[in-house]
Chains A and B, each alone.
Chain A
Amino acid sequence: MSEVLILGEIKEGSLDLKTLELLGAGKKLASDLDGEFSVVLMGDTVSGAADEAIPYGPAKVYKLEHPLLQGFKAELWLASLEQACREINPEILLMSHSFIGMELGPRLACRLNSRLTTDCIDLSIDSEDGLLLRTKPVSGGNAISVFKCPGEPQLATVRGKIFESPETADGKGEIVEMVPQIDESMIKVESLEIVKEEIVALDKADVVVSGGAGLGEEDGFELLEELTEALSKSFGTVMIGCSRVAVDKGWISSDHQVGLTGTMISPDIYVAVGISGAIQHLVGMVHSKKIIAINTDTGCNMFKVADYGVVEDYEEIIPALIEKLEELS
């Protein structure tokens, strides 16, 4: 029987939200193939997450437990997943387009001599030949391409917030223990230190005020900071976002970056200040409920996707806006 395998990810002991979405995608594909879907979980202890996965209806949950799988060490995770794939022989393997999937996907594809499509936004089965159709935005989002590739397992990484997690019920799935054959000699990249930084959870914001190259200098973000403070008196969580150029210039850290290679968000209000609206930025914020753009260039792309536009130098309008907001609050 065809098996659709899902690489689950565990966050603070529980299944990651993206994994629940993958379960939704996997379940749909399995039913189209008249097959079943299963989950593989890796880590030093995965029992809790394995139990958590069962009610979503997988036929099997494969547990790959090993003390060395604590934390993400690419070579060890890769070797374990490769072994599991060779043993399970799934028809399809899905991963999140996460930090883990982005690294394991291409490397696994090479080792299994198969082909991967990254960052998919839709997946379906070709009714003629039963192969996986992988829909992916290309050229930053300027076009949508459907790929069909040879090789088994058919591999895809999947973008977040596209699929819905399946309903839970009394699952009858089986938990299967597998023993990864790994040891420390496989580690080629030594971890010296993990440096935790204060990371903004942009996807949790109600309002995001974003700055781009148009700010002209790092200090521009101070003005945006003042604006977020003024707005936070009337709105829930207000955070600072940015374009890639602002990161490239070293004005702000990359966790603030919105877009294709940053965070994809859909807050209640998105305020774009001095951001031109390149497609790779737009794909990260175009689903915001309301978009307000401040830009000196009437012709810029950002105005094409905005609900409200102000053609003005941000240094003129923002201080005045802060003042008015203070008066109103």
Chain B
Amino acid sequence: MTEIRIIVCAKEIPDPEAPLSDVSVDAEKMEVIVDAPQVISPFDENALEAAIRITEEMDAKITVLSMGKKVSDTVLRKTLAAGADELILVEDDVFEKLDSHSTAVALAGAIRRIGEYDLILTGRQAGDWDSGQVGLILGEMLAVPCINLARDISVEDGSVVVKKSIPEGYELVKARMPALVTVSNEVGELRYISRTKMLKMMRGSRSIPSWSAGDLNVTPEAFQKMGIAELSSPPDMGRDCQFIEGSPDDQAEKLAAVFQTLR
């Protein structure tokens, strides 16, 4: 059988799980400031994991595609250490704060440049703007079958078979490839990468291709910014926590009494 070509779209974002104290809002500049390291958006890691599992079943090649104003190859090299075969960065100043549609335009441009593909995997939503749109828009632009919210993905005879989450459970669906699938966390965490593997990849001399907007065969007007009119801090969620002290037994007794008062 011929090799399956998988493209995983992965976005680099400030750690969305950073403690609340490390996050602030600059209302003037309309920016969320996160004092935490950059990471790969979590659902994109799930998507990469799904892709790697496919390579374990058959001859398949994974290309990771990441777009941004500036993409840190040290963050993204993790995908190579995990098992991706190729990493392509698409970087340009015009890519700053693009809206979902324009992001999909850029990714579609890069994918057309990559050429042949069978399966595109994206995360269900990125952890910075929580938009949840780019995957499906990209599928529409490329005019391929789209499957949203996958919890399990396999490939057989030129088709992708997906367990798609639905409110009452899941739906087993099948589409001819090429196809696009958005991935949810039920797929499972990205596999553990050993320190040595990681270090080797970080220090590696392997050069990572970087394309700019000009390489994508897209008119510059296609890149529109997300229209932010206002950005503010959320209402304070804090409460006064009453700590229950003592030995576990004391604590249990006091906590049981708390429950009594809440009845």
Contacts and interface: CB of A to CB of B under 8 A. Distances in A.
Interface of A: 72, 74, 98-99, 102-103, 105-107, 109-111, 115-116, 118-119, 126, 133, 136-150, 188-197, 199, 231, 234-235, 244, 247-250, 254, 260-261, 268-269, 277-280, 282, 286, 290-293, 301, 303-312, 316-317, 320-321, 323-325, 327-328
21 contacts: A102-B149, A103-B149, A105-B133, A106-B132, A106-B135, A107-B136, A109-B100, A138-B129, A140-B130, A144-B234, A189-B175, A195-B172, A196-B169, A248-B46, A261-B184, A269-B262, A277-B20, A301-B19, A304-B237, A307-B240, A324-B255
Contact of A307 (B30, B128, B234, B241): B241
Provide the main secondary structure of the chain B interface.
Answer: mixed
A203 B49 CA distance: 31
Interface string B204-227: 000000000000000000001011
Interface in B124-164: 124-125, 127-137, 139-141, 145-149, 151, 161, 163
Contacts of A269: 259, 262
B175 A190 contact: yes
Given A150-B227, A306-B239, A308-B255, A320 B249 contact: yes
Contacts of B199: none
Contacts of A139: 16, 23, 32, 34, 127-130
Given A195-B169, A235-B263, A254-B165, A148 B227 contact: yes
B185 A244 contact: yes
Nearest to A325: B256
Contacts of B23: 139, 142-143, 279
B17 interface: yes
B82 to A, nearest CB: 15
A261 B124 contact: yes
A142 B252 contact: no
B94 interface: no
B234 A193 contact: no
A267 to B, nearest CB: 11
A147 B100 CA distance: 12
A316 B231 CA distance: 44
Contacts of A144: 231-234
A321 B257 CA distance: 10
Contact of B259 (A140, A195, A231): A231
A320 B252 contact: yes
A322 to B, nearest CB: 8
Contacts of A286: 237
Contacts of B131: 118
Contacts of A293: 241
Nearest first, the 8 A-B pairs at minimum CB distance are A320-B252, A197-B169, A324-B256, A188-B145, A106-B133, A110-B140, A146-B230, A106-B136
A69 B107 CA distance: 32
A279 B149 CA distance: 22
A309 B243 contact: yes
Contact of B248 (A137, A197, A260, A317): A317
A247 B145 CA distance: 28
Contacts of A111: 140
A86 to B, nearest CB: 16
A188 B112 CA distance: 21
B255 A310 contact: yes
Given A144-B231, A189-B175, A103 B241 contact: no
A191 B145 CA distance: 13
Given A142-B20, A310-B255, A328 B241 contact: no
Contacts of B147: 189
Contacts of A307: 239-242
